[in-house]
A and B are shown apart, each in its own frame.
Chain A
Amino acid sequence: MNNKVIQTENLTKTFGDFTAVNTISFDVYEGEIFGFLGANGAGKTTAMRMLSGLSTPSSGKASVAGFDVYRQTESIKKNIGYMSQKFSLYEDLTIRENIELFGGIYGLRGRLLQEKKMALLKNLELEDDQMKLVSSIPLGWKQKLAFSIAILHEPRVVFLDEPTGGVDPITRRKFWDLIYAAAAKGITVFVTTHYMDEAEYCNRVSIMVDGKIEALDSPDRLKITHAAGSMDEVFQQLARRAVRKAD
């Protein structure tokens, strides 16, 4: 657990006068499940977009999988998976076509792609539904499918932006089983969430308030240092200090 997969130092993003992300510094280790918490508008998504090469930082340093976020965004993109809160599969393609499309984009082809596709479908128990259009399947299935596709090419890091929004606790629990399985294979998981029960599942969590990281530790240690009974209490204590209005 000593290999740093993500390193940031004073990473900042400003939009005009507004500092969305304010000098954040943290490291994420290989195979870790890293929870990235914060109220709406705290800057989580902006930070994640910088790390995944979708947005150029205003200042500070950061590297992902050993590649620089300013100059090597395309190399980063080869080594990460990404699943955004805006649902990111093609609704007018079937389950099977989505798997083949994104697998193909990451260079999987021929027998390897077929094998991985079959394993994915079997794992999600979607073998009989593979010809269904994504638009016709339930949200919980879509999320699991999107996550499985995001890690199909076995990236070093997978970024999940509020992956479980809008589904019931049982479906969420099943989603987290997939996350554990991915982490066990050595894929580092960087996840933003609003659900504090999910925060408890992470190895370490950071809590962002108004663009800054206010706390960063394992859930157990955070509860001790904040004299709180649950992660929810920790979050309430920190997030209440926020000046910024949630969007």
Chain B
Amino acid sequence: MHILLVLLKKEFTQILRNRFLLLIMFQMPVIQLLILPLAATYEMKNISMSVVDKDHSSYSAKLIDKFTASGYFKLNSYADSYEKALESIEDNTSDLIIEIPENFERTLIREKKADILINANAIDGTKAGLSSSYAASIIADFNKDIRETLLQPGKLNPAPRISITYSNWFNPTLHYPTYMVPGILVTLLSLVGGFMAALNIVSEKEKGTIEQINVTPVKKTTFIVSKIIPFWIIGMIIFTLGLLISRFVYHIYPVGTYGTLYIFAMAYMIAFLGLGLLISTYSDNQQQAMFIAFFFLIIFILLSGEFTPITSMPDWAQKMTKLNPLSYFVEVMRLVMLKGSSFRDVLTQFLTICGFGVVLNTWAVLNYKKTS
């Protein structure tokens, strides 16, 4: 116990003396939390469209008006031919082509139906999918309008009056920061946990000072605990900063309790520090440690459900998310902050994270060898 205190004093002295690193550790998360949630939004605006209007009728003009009035689309160009419009997609100035064929109006009035062509630039798949569906709903709306004007709704032809009302539970206004902030906060904690402790140990390997520790009677568990505690505290400070920002900058008030969030974050941080330590025991220098940590972090982030919903992943990927500590934390953060889940509700996730913590840290201690 006394030795642990001696080692902790050493770690804190070193961390506090490295002002630059300390500044980065606290400043970067703050800056990221202030910028990223505003930038990373799924809402589509400014979809630029290129229109090929071969009809030049009042109906075709009405349809185009409807698109531009929606707020999602902006008119990029009128093209004479489909080929011309395609060029604008090829040089990436348009996202969508709408082609209105000749005699659009006439066919529509005579035959009560007409075709138009919508072509989306699918280089960005999400954008293409969303813009086509926006376009489809605008056209549906347009359909309804002409039906009402053309068919003169009366006793024989009642206009369909079905309209859909959306209601988004737990995030009623679809406020994106509410959705993104918890996820980004989790990523930042993982960054500190996965990288800082690992790099710290590996830098002792590089300098050779770890050899001096290995030749003393310091127990390896004591040494590892002395590396975990400082970064665990730093992680909790960052977590607190993040919650303050989400409350006072983004006005996100957790529906559940801060207590539940903290208990989970504490366990999560220990688990992720264990991963960092494990990486450090397998690497000889900081480059190796960095690369391995990056490798895992990228997989963990992409499979966390933070950016794409886990339920829409293929089956094998969904199974992989079960091995991803980040996915549990993202889920719990959202459950507690947005839905108001209690600690009892997230007990399964909590125990799973504790399991990760025990396995990763034990593995790290076992793999750390004082005698080679």
Using a CB–CB distance below 8 Å, which chain A residues touch chain B? 52-56, 73-74, 77-78, 80, 82, 84, 86-93, 97, 100-102, 104-107, 109
Contacts and interface: CB of A to CB of B under 8 A. Distances in A.
8 contacts: A88-B212, A93-B14, A97-B10, A102-B212, A102-B216, A104-B3, A104-B5, A107-B2
Contacts, number: 74
Contacts of B5: 104
Given A74-B217, A105-B217, 8 more contacts: A52-B215, A54-B372, A80-B215, A90-B209, A102-B212, A104-B5, A105-B3, A105-B7
A92 B3 contact: no
A87 B371 contact: no
Interface of B: 2-3, 5-7, 9-10, 13-14, 17-18, 207-209, 211-218, 370-372
Nearest to A97: B13
A35 B237 CA distance: 52
B217 A100 contact: no
Contact of A54 (B3, B17, B18, B215): B215
Contacts of A84: 208, 211-212, 215
B18 A88 contact: no
Contact of A55 (B6, B209, B371): B371
Nearest to B223: A105
A91 B7 CA distance: 15
A107 to B, nearest CB: 7
B285 to A, nearest CB: 14
Contacts of A90: 10, 14, 209
Contacts of B10: 90, 93, 97, 101
Given A78-B217, A92-B14, A106-B217, A54 B6 contact: no
A56 B371 contact: yes
Given A54-B214, A102-B216, A87 B3 contact: no
Contact of A77 (B6, B9, B208, B216): B216
B209 A88 contact: yes
B215 A77 contact: yes
A107 B2 CA distance: 8
